[in-house]
Chain A
């Protein structure tokens, strides 16, 4: 063996571990991931199909299951767009401008992540419930919010509140304001600048936030459980329907509905990974450009 290759080997040995340590660490990490992530997924599939494909499909054909699926879709269809508009507006204000109290505002935006889902449900009961602030007024006008769909939507909006804003703020901060300023100086209106300059720049981050927000909106359990009242066929979302079936010892039916939510989670992970890999490739392409034109991508 020649001297240089020995030196290279010595240098590499200094920044990595010996082969058996490496494989031992990989084995422990993979075993941990297998136990905690793969096995639960496999358990959902096995339990759902325990009595065969026929029983599985039968469970999904139940009218109550259908109404739960419909309510979950409605809830996500309302709460995700609301938080999308908020996320873009908040990110524009926080990332593109300097103002006093910005750090405080950013902390407040994160607050719903820190609050327990149960507390999130409770606060809406205190505002709109029979004994709450607006309870008597709502009862007089025959409007139902708690134990009805509006309460479920509100609780879901609360728990998914920060998702899109959190994704966009650091992204838009990193991109700065140069391109928007150029557009404005060249005579574009604010809307034109947003649609043609900002939006193309943030579209992947936006999509990333939207799919995570959607996954949480469809899967939220604690907050929705407090405000829903668990009325079968009316105010049960899919996760709540899973609980009802499970507590009635209808294991196959519970895991059948749960399997739909697990598929949703896997689809979310696939879209998320594709966005990340795409972004990685774009970053690599930018890094490989000649240094004098670094932003041409």
Chain B
């Protein structure tokens, strides 16, 4: 989401790094202690202390209780559904996101700027609105549902509907990570490949694709991570049948509504650990991408 604003700026060159290496910058500019202190204080207050409550609450459970809570059949079914649907949605987004990024960077067509701006719609549109409008489209009397129902295809209130909602939610991630890399790609490499006798397809698979692969993988991981935690858009379209179309975040809500705080916390901790691992993976991928771009 960091967008074109930050990525297109020129980085100031050698003089700055010389100042930094001499250690001068630190002493000249004021406000280091107060801004860092405030940032850490606010981070602890809003994020770290509340998150630690999750860990402490889980410790009130014995290991057996914890294990039963996070591996009961209904919870296991929700993991399979959440991860399976997120994986399929992220894969679809990887393919179509790459295609959309490619078309936006390489080709000219009327209305391109509007299409480009529209890519970010899933970031801006509240998830509940996405949820009810996708449901309205795919339900038996909806514009798309109407066309599919006679052929025996049901999307709303099935796991397939969940995948559709997750595709919507994750759509911008792949486009926005691949797009800047494609823009910066050197045409000379492609010209060289062609003049050495490569076909266009060979140039794509052997020259272009390897250079955008790290960005593609990053976007895929981001879409996947977002899909796993998604709640708002999914619950309207899922049907929410236990064992069939009940996602893990909904399990947490269900346990909370039955005042099973410990059970809700245990499942939430599993999700938190998975999110944190995914965050580290994404950070690693981005570092890899930067090294590739710098080399």
Q: Is the CB of A122 within 8 A of B228?
A: no
Contact of B69 with A by CB under 8 A: no
Q: How far is the CA of A44 from the CA of B129 in the complex (A)?
A: 8
* B7 pairs with A118, CB closer than 8 A: no
Q: Which residue of B lies closest to A111 (CB)?
A: B47
Query: In the complex the two chains form, is B6's CB within 8 Å of A170's CB?
Result: yes
Q: A25-B103, A26-B109, A219-B125 are in contact. Are A90 and B2 (CB under 8 A)?
A: no
Q: Please determine whether A43 and B137 come into contact, CB atoms closer than 8 angstroms.
A: yes
Q: Contacts A15-B190, A122-B256, A175-B9 known; A279 to B4 CB distance under 8 Å?
A: yes
A65 to nearest B CB, angstroms?
14
Contact across chains for A221 and B133 when beta carbons are under 8 A apart: no
Flag if A29 contacts B99 (CB, 8 Å).
yes
Most chain B CB within a 10 A radius of its CB, from A14, A170, A261, A270: A14
| B144 part of interface (Cβ distance < 8 Å) | yes
Q: Check if A283 is an interface residue, CB within 8 A of chain B.
A: yes
> Is A127 an interface position by the 8 A CB rule?
yes
Docked-complex contact B47 and A108, CB < 8 angstroms: yes
B107 CB within 8 Å of chain A? yes
- Which B residues touch A226, using CB under 8 A? 253, 256
B96 touches A29 (CB 8 A): yes
Interface 0/1 of A166-195, CB less than 8 Å to B: 110011011111101100110001100110
Which chain A residues lie closer than 8 Å to B276 at the CB level? 111, 114
Count of chain B residues near A, Cβ 8 A: 110
Q: Distance in Å from the Cβ of B84 to the closest Cβ of chain A?
A: 17
Nearest CB on B from A258, distance (A): 4
- Bound-state Cα–Cα, A191 to B264, Å: 47
A29 touches B103 (CB 8 A): yes
- B247 → chain A closest CB, angstroms: 10
The answer on a CB contact under 8 Å between B261 and A37 is no
CB contact list, A52-107 vs B, under 8 A: 86, 89-90, 92-94, 96-99, 105, 107
Interface residue tally for chain A (C-beta within 8 Å): 122
Q: Mark B14-55, 1 if CB is under 8 A from A, else 0.
A: 011001100011101111101110111011001111110110
Q: What is the CB-to-nearest-CB distance from B1 to chain A, in angstroms, rounded to a whole number?
A: 7
Measured CB to CB, the nearest residue on chain B to A287 is B10
A222:B249 contact, CB within 8 angstroms: yes
- A-B residue pairs in contact (CB < 8 Å), sample of 24: A14-B193, A16-B106, A40-B125, A44-B132, A93-B35, A96-B29, A98-B26, A111-B276, A111-B279, A114-B229, A123-B54, A125-B256, A127-B50, A133-B53, A175-B12, A177-B25, A221-B232, A222-B249, A226-B253, A240-B128, A258-B128, A266-B124, A272-B124, A276-B4
In order of increasing CB-CB distance, the 9 nearest A-B pairs are: A219-B126, A14-B194, A116-B229, A221-B232, A222-B231, A190-B30, A176-B12, A265-B124, A118-B249
A residues lining the B interface (CB < 8 Å)? 11, 13-17, 22, 25-26, 28-30, 32-33, 35-41, 43-44, 47, 86, 89-90, 92-94, 96-99, 105, 107-119, 122-127, 129, 131-133, 154, 157-158, 161, 163, 166-167, 170-171, 173-178, 180-181, 184-185, 189-190, 193-194, 204-205, 208, 212, 215-216, 218-222, 225-226, 238-240, 242-243, 246, 251, 254-255, 258, 261-262, 264-266, 268-270, 272-273, 275-277, 279-280, 283, 286, 294
